[in-house]
Amino acid sequence: MDQQAIDKTSLPKHIAIIMDGNGRWAKERGQDRIYGHHEGVLSVREIVNVAGEIGIKYLTLYAFSTENWNRPKEEVAALMELLVATIRKEADELNKNNVRLHVIGDFAALPEVCQKEMNEAMGITANNTGLNLILALSYSAKWEILNAVKQISQNVQIGKLQPTDITDEIFHQYLSTHAFPDPELMIRTSGENRISNFLLYQLAYSELYFTATHWPDFRKKQFLQAILDYQQRERRFGMISEQIQTPQSENAKNQ
């Protein structure tokens, strides 16, 4: 599988990935879970590079969920250390590749050193115009939606917003992904067929791709395969097949 198989004219603008299976991958090799997380970073690097190369504009990676705080404290500490070390090591490379880094999630819940490293990397890459790499850290979609609801309620209370003004577009502005389009494609590795509190609002019409491959084995070939699979699907958005195949202007005429 190489890049030629991909139709560059119908790429998803935004791909979101639940990077799952590091622990099981390590266990299968008689190693501890942390080893799997380290190997997972190699996949992150490769997928970020390929995504940038083929022209994906937004890549959201679910790196740490709110629920992941409940893991054994040694694993949480190791994950935070790995995050800091990886960003420290990769920030210049990301910058060189014109990647702009963003973080979504409960930023204040992250250890200070982690916040500092992230802020620096986001600062360095702030003017880049290539791939937008969005890391979901201490992220939970329910948390995000509830936050949006709280802010909207406050704005209604002070008269800044009328309840009748709350459209899908306005609601979007209150989400942490307000600057990004919704993902057309969501990939989850490692065989679990669930969303695990990831982008619940934004995934409303995403194509879902589940693969048994563990994250450390998910590389360029597997990523291109997922995009190819996406490109072979028909996205109907509630309409019927014939409408999708007819140009939009024709649809309007027929209504």
Q: Should residue 192 be labelled a site residue for ligand IPE when binding is judged by CB under 6 A? A: yes
20 catalytic? Reply is yes
Q: Should residue 44 be labelled a site residue for ligand IPE when binding is judged by CB under 6 A? A: no
Residue closer to ligand IPE by CB (options 37, 100) is 37
Residue of 16, 20, 63, 79 that binds Mg ion (CB under 5 A): 20
Distance separating alpha carbons of residues 161 and 165, to the nearest angstrom: 7
Question: Which ranges in the chain belong to alpha helices (H)?
Answer: 22-28, 33-54, 73-96, 112-124, 141-157, 168-173, 220-231, 241-245, 248-254
Residue of 20, 144, 182, 207 that binds ligand IPE (CB under 6 A): 20
Stretch that binds ligand IPE, among 63-71, 115-123, 140-148, 237-245 (CB under 6 A): 63-71
Stretch that binds ligand IPE, among 95-103, 117-125, 191-199, 220-228 (CB under 6 A): 191-199
Closest CA to 218 of 7, 72, 22: 22
Q: Should residue 22 be labelled a site residue for ligand IPE when binding is judged by CB under 6 A? A: yes
CA atoms within 13 A on the CB side of 54: 28
Site for ligand IPE in 204-243 (CB under 6 A): 215
Q: Should residue 65 be labelled a site residue for ligand IPE when binding is judged by CB under 6 A? A: yes
Q: CB of 203 within 8 A of CB of 183?
A: yes
Q: CB of 102 within 8 A of CB of 133?
A: yes
What is the enclosing helix (H) or strand (E) of 25? helix 22-28
193 catalytic? Reply is no
Amino acid of residue 67: E
Residue closer to ligand IPE by CB (options 24, 219) is 24
Q: Distances in Å between the alpha carbon of 93 and those of 216, 220, 244?
A: 21, 18, 41
What residues make contact with ligand IPE under the rule CB under 6 A?
Answer: 18-24, 62-65, 67-68, 79, 190, 192, 194, 196, 215
What residues make contact with Mg ion under the rule CB under 5 A?
Answer: 20
Active site residues: 20, 68
